[in-house]
Chain A
Amino acid sequence: MTEMTEITFTLNGETVRRSVPVRKNLVDFLRQDMGLTGSHVGCEHGVCGACTLLVDRRAVRGCLMLAAQIDGLSVQTVEGLAQDEAVNDLLEAFVARNALQCGFCTPGMLATAVELLRNPRPMSRAEIREQISGNYCRCTGYEAIVDAIGTVLDTRLANMQADGEVA
């Protein structure tokens, strides 16, 4: 019989307690047990980035963590990002710049972008592309995604400058 373990963690701001099979990975647990199907599953070995989400505010692969490992930690999925004022500009820029077509890569792409934009510093398009190189998109050709992230980056940098946070 598959061994089970108890976990208590924060999911998109709410405390959750569940019993999980120890061999179940995080993204399967979120999709199957928590009903949060926003995070996608592609390769299941860390390559495609579709399952990327935020654990303790860092972008990680949901397919490369066990659900058992999030005991005591905090998880934010795309469902949580949708309610998060702080990243509204990013979500709007993705729509405005056509940074998604089928949307399969989008939840993972957003998690990567959220972390990338948290401490904004000037970045070239090439650097942005390199930063998202762990997330595959089969539709957009990436240009529109770089447009969206670049737009948000520029705005955030300009706001910081206006607030006197940047010399």
Chain B
Amino acid sequence: MKAPRFQYLRPDSVEEAVAMLAAHGDAAQILAGGQSLMPMLNMRVASPDVVIDINRLQALAGIAFVDGWCTVGALTRYADIMADGRIAQHLPLLAMALPYVAHSAIRNRGTIGGSLALADPAAEMPACALALGAEIELASQAGRRRVLAQDFFLGLYETARQAEEMLIAIHYPIVGPVQCGFYEIARRHGDFALAGAAVVRRPAPAGGLPEYRIAAFGLLDRPILATRTAEICANVQTAERMNDVLSAFEADICAAGDIQGDARTRLIWARTALQRALEQLAPSPL
């Protein structure tokens, strides 16, 4: 089908964009990469009165490393993040996860801000934001604020972003050397995940325990942090305990909400995804 009628606005600055959002609120939709909004318009699942095209806001595109943070502008396209060698070095989890996002032509347009703003429960970038402890920066006419990823994803396509706010940037803390694992189960390459896991491990400081952050996605109405699983991972030292870890993962997921679809099958997929993600951690899985 074809997109319905709408009014097309193209701001030249963030100030102009947030003024437009303030004026139109819920009746407006931001157009970033368009790789989700355009299908929604074409299928008439979305019919905003106003479309605000932010593609001229070049200030929102780009990657900067400053003072222990990596800041990725909301309008940065997946392909440009993948091509940046600093990401592979400092945020290897993103480098591992991005090839799973759709296909090259979609990644040439799709933006990281669009993915987080949309909050598809099966999407890779929201899960990575959780596992990496990212902060999401929002702007409105009232000013700017930063929201922790774990406080941002509230439910199915639902986030802490207010209608008059736009996503400006994602800030990832750079915490020194980490090991990462990422795995998802999907019907075909480039499809949204049926179940997936993202793992970040900070090596143990002298005399201490390693620190794990584990996100599960594709299972519930939103990506979640599996905190109990992370604790158990940090405390068990041998691979024979993998079963305890996987059982904790199931418990973490079930405690967080109702699984979409056949729960038994999806939990098996989830266990498999976590196990494979953990197996990618060098030198030993746990």
Which residue numbers of A lie inside 8 Å of B, CB to CB? 2-3, 5, 22-25, 28, 44-46, 49, 52, 58-61, 63-66, 68-69, 111-112, 115-116, 130-131, 133-135
Contact = CB atoms under 8 A, between A and B. Distances in A.
Given A45-B43, A65-B34, A112 B105 contact: yes
B96 interface: no
A17 B220 CA distance: 48
B4 A23 contact: yes
**Which 7 pairs between the two chains have the least Cβ-Cβ distance?**
A134-B103, A45-B39, A22-B8, A64-B38, A58-B108, A23-B3, A59-B105
A44 B1 contact: yes
B5 interface: yes
B79 interface: yes
A49 B103 CA distance: 10
A46 B5 contact: no
B154 interface: no
Chain B contact residues: over half helix, strand or loop, or mixed? loop
B190 to A, nearest CB: 6
Given A66-B8, A134-B104, A58 B2 contact: no
Interface residues of B, number: 31
B5 A25 contact: no
A46 B108 contact: no
B272 interface: no
A104 B7 CA distance: 33
Interface string B26-41: 0000010011001101
Contacts of B97: none
B157 interface: no
Candidate in B5, B6, B43, B105 with the most chain A CB atoms within 10 angstroms: B105
B106 A5 contact: no
A133 B103 contact: yes
B8 A65 contact: no
Contact of A133 (B42, B51, B53, B190): B190
A111 B139 CA distance: 37
Nearest to A45: B39
8 contacts: A23-B2, A23-B5, A23-B6, A45-B43, A61-B109, A66-B31, A130-B189, A133-B189
B55 interface: yes
Interface in B30-89: 31, 34-35, 38-39, 41-43, 51, 53, 55, 79
B105 A60 contact: yes
B39 A64 contact: yes
B188 interface: yes
B22 interface: no
Contact of A25 (B42, B102, B104, B106): B42
B182 to A, nearest CB: 16
Contact of A58 (B35, B42, B79): B79
Interface of B: 1-8, 10, 31, 34-35, 38-39, 41-43, 51, 53, 55, 79, 102-106, 108-109, 188-190
Contact of A63 (B38, B108, B190): B38
A59 B6 contact: no
B55 A63 contact: no
B108 A60 contact: yes
Contacts of B39: 44-46, 64
A12 B4 CA distance: 29
Given A25-B2, A45-B42, A45-B43, A64 B108 contact: no
Contacts of B102: 134
B109 A64 contact: yes
A2 B6 CA distance: 8
A133 B42 CA distance: 22
Given A112-B105, A133-B189, A65 B38 contact: yes
Given A25-B42, A69-B55, A133-B188, A61 B8 contact: no
Given A3-B6, A45-B42, A116-B104, 19 more contacts: A3-B5, A22-B51, A23-B8, A46-B38, A49-B105, A52-B105, A60-B109, A61-B35, A61-B38, A61-B109, A66-B8, A66-B34, A112-B104, A112-B105, A130-B189, A131-B104, A133-B103, A134-B104, A134-B106
